Amino acid sequence: MSFYKTARIEPLGFLHKRAWTKTGKTASMFMEDGILDIERALDVVADTYHISRNPDDYLLVPARAVSADRFNANRDGFAESELLRFDPELGRRVYQSFDLKPHFINHASGNNAVARGCVIDVHYNNVNNADDLIKQAVYLDAAKDVQTDNFVELLLAVDMTKDPALAAGYKSGVVKEFSMGADVSSTVCNVCNNEAFSEFQFCPCVRSKFSGKKYKTNDGRSVEAGEWCMGTRYAEISAVDDPADKSAEIQEGLLEIHELTVNKLASKDLQAIVSYAVRNAKSMPRPLIDLINQRLAS
């Protein structure tokens, strides 16, 4: 038995028309060091994921995936020792299990053929200085004093021909969050060190990890309960709903919208249309979707 874990992550930028655009101040290993020849990845996964083999069809998005040594909003954490651990069954370090994994919408991962792209490379990023908030979080969660903000960084390739609306959403900022998915064989409580291989084995600390209750540790820290994930296999990365609108989803009906050039429609109008379509996808009738497709393609 295993656990399936998810966590929100942020894009660090994207590559479009051969130029990088940064979305924040975080230094990206891929953006600083150049880009890869993605044909290697596409040759391996294109048929399985039903995505293009042409590198020019992709939007490349470097994204923060997993922060080391601190808990996410779900009170799940991945220690640096786990991320960097060499797994002989994988033949690589644990964090590298992200490589070539699919890109979905909202963890709808039951069918590889609906993948919108894939992870084409993975890097352990340790070049960003940790601010005081990160230092405090790592100390409280992992009892470590750190100087750098360490995390797993993915280079995500999004097939713009398979889902032009999603790609337009990334470029306009309408779609701006990802969520990673991982299978873990067990979790260890940060308070009592109980290791659980199923929910039935959870300790009282973990069962109440969202209660806000504080526990005193032997070294004097006052902490909330959390789970350190063990035996990790990263499974996929998804585009997820904008937290400002919990009902927003990208639906299959929007996949037909064609990417526009500046000559067809002003960029500000494109952003407004894509924003409306993404935020109201659940309630949009099929005739309206067809009309939008027709107008944007003309």
Q: How confident is the model at residue 285 (pLDDT cuts 50, 70, 90)?
A: low
For residue 251, the model assigns a pLDDT of: 33
**Residue found by looking up tokens 């107008």 in the block:** 295
Average pLDDT of the chain, as a whole number = 82
Q: How confident is the model at residue 52 (pLDDT cuts 50, 70, 90)?
A: very high
In this predicted model, what pLDDT tens digit does every residue of 224-267 receive, in sequence order? 999 999 999 999 998 886 432 232 333 333 333 333 333 344 54
Whether the predicted pLDDT of 279 surpasses 70 = no
**What are the φ/ψ torsions at residue 281 (nearest 5 degrees)?**
-60, -35
7 to 10, 179, 240: CA distances (angstroms): 10, 5, 10
In this predicted model, what pLDDT tens digit does every residue of 178-234 receive, in sequence order? 888 999 999 999 999 999 999 999 999 999 999 999 999 888 899 999 999 999 999
Q: How confident is the model at residue 34 (pLDDT cuts 50, 70, 90)?
A: low
Angle between helices 267-279 and 286-297 (to 10 degrees): 160
Whether the predicted pLDDT of 4 surpasses 70 = yes
Q: Which of the residue ranges 10-14, 171-175, 269-273 would you say has the lowest mean pLDDT?
A: 269-273
Whether the predicted pLDDT of 69 surpasses 80 = yes
In this predicted model, what pLDDT tens digit does every residue of 155-173 receive, in sequence order? 989 999 998 888 888 887 7
Q: How confident is the model at residue 291 (pLDDT cuts 50, 70, 90)?
A: low
More confident residue, 35 or 42: 42
Proportion of the chain above pLDDT 90, given as a percent: 50
